[in-house]
Structure 1
Amino acid sequence: MNRRPSRPIALTIAGSDSGGGAGIQADLKTFAALHVHGTSAITCVTAQNPREVRAVQPLRPDMVRAQLEAVCAELPPRAVKTGMLYSPAIIRVVAGFTFPGNPPLVVDPVMVATSGAPLLQPRAVRVLTAELLPRATLVTPNVPEAQWLVGRPLKDMEDLRQAARSLHERHGCAVLIKGGHLKGLRTAPDLFYDGRQELLLEAPRIARLHTHGTGCTYAAAVTACLARGESLVRAVTTAKAFITRALAGAYRAARHDVLHPGA
């Protein structure tokens, strides 16, 4: 008899960060910290460090599909997360793929790196909103990404409330807008809305911390919790506490702050 402990499986579909702070690397560290077996499909290889993205090489769409097929053949995920998808062709591969068991899908609409480098081709935004978001269980934009998606500035919490409702009405998915980019607040507020329930998730703002990969880690934590069988509301609540600990426990690597998902 096999007495080894079993872990649920989660899948991340995202780009590789050679600096180790975001993307696939951040997602897999988060899955491991939350006791979920992480699988991956890499969409792009990036040459980057915490200061800059020097180059982006997207994989061929057929190679992205081959990774999805290989993972799902033997390791069917109980939850799926997308990060950097980059191109219309890659988005269409993911949006058109049939995942066994129809697991929940968390879409982190990665558009621009913390350093300012574009991570989503301009013409890909329409494909993301038209073909992928209608399949999503949850979309997790930060304020700049939410502004792109709704087409207007978001300056305060009431703007976030209206944007969350607008995105839910347009695409049918739950929405978690991360409000860390809002100015003049002493907390880091996030707004969750699923069409029935609204939650304001707050935590103390951590000053003088300059890191990246927060959005990846947050969405990966939600995905891991869904893979463990938690409800969506419980998953986002657990993930908020997780990312708060990861920020508070950040460590230094050379001259840079790095999130600590295992904190």
Structure 2
Amino acid sequence: MEIPIVQLKIVLRILEHKGIISCLVGETALNYYNVPRVIHVFEICVSKHCVEKAQSLLCSTGLFELEELLDFDLYNEYKKGFPRLRSTGWTSPPCYIVLFSGEHFHMEPLSKTVVIQKSPTANSAYENSKQILDLVGVNDVRCLPMPRLSPLLQGLAQRYLDASDAVAMIAAEQLVDGMDVDECWAKKNLADARADVQDLITRLISGKYSRLDDFSENTVTCFLADEREAERVKNIPGYQ
């Protein structure tokens, strides 16, 4: 499956042109960190005071229109209260976008959350997950404002603890498995997190091996086949 990368890049460029900092979350960010997810909608965070501005800006181009989500359940309840946009007739099939505040995922300020992408050199250890490269090309990945792993994982864990958001809990668990997050990483990157957030992530780390499928040949986590692959994903920009 290919995601409508052209539509996404247009959205990001429009926001950037007006000085609105954005950061991808949801399925796209999970794919970036080696979690296999089908992308149904682009979830984009902007600063709290920019949500309405971003919505108005995108709709004013005529390329997008507001399309409210009316039916909510366990899996999309976290989207309630945030604008959902649908691309107009210029593209088919349509592209869907939900605009969140960075505060909703505890990732403010966004300027300190987004990965600073650098062009790889001949000697660099730059890597991308197979999951994201199945969706977009290497050059396109570097154009996408992805969150660093630490604030993304912390934000999901805190959202679960504060709002009992089961979707956030599932995503946090999958991030631990997709990146083989261990206690050493947690000690280095979560020192400033709330104690209950640290405890939750530590429990997720402890449960990695229990989530291995008995019928899978994976030896590291349910998303990582072997130690070589586990070391490779640690070179994804944003891991540290």
Structure 2 length-normalised TM: 0.29
The answer to which structure has the higher helix fraction is 2
The answer to which structure has the higher strand fraction is 1
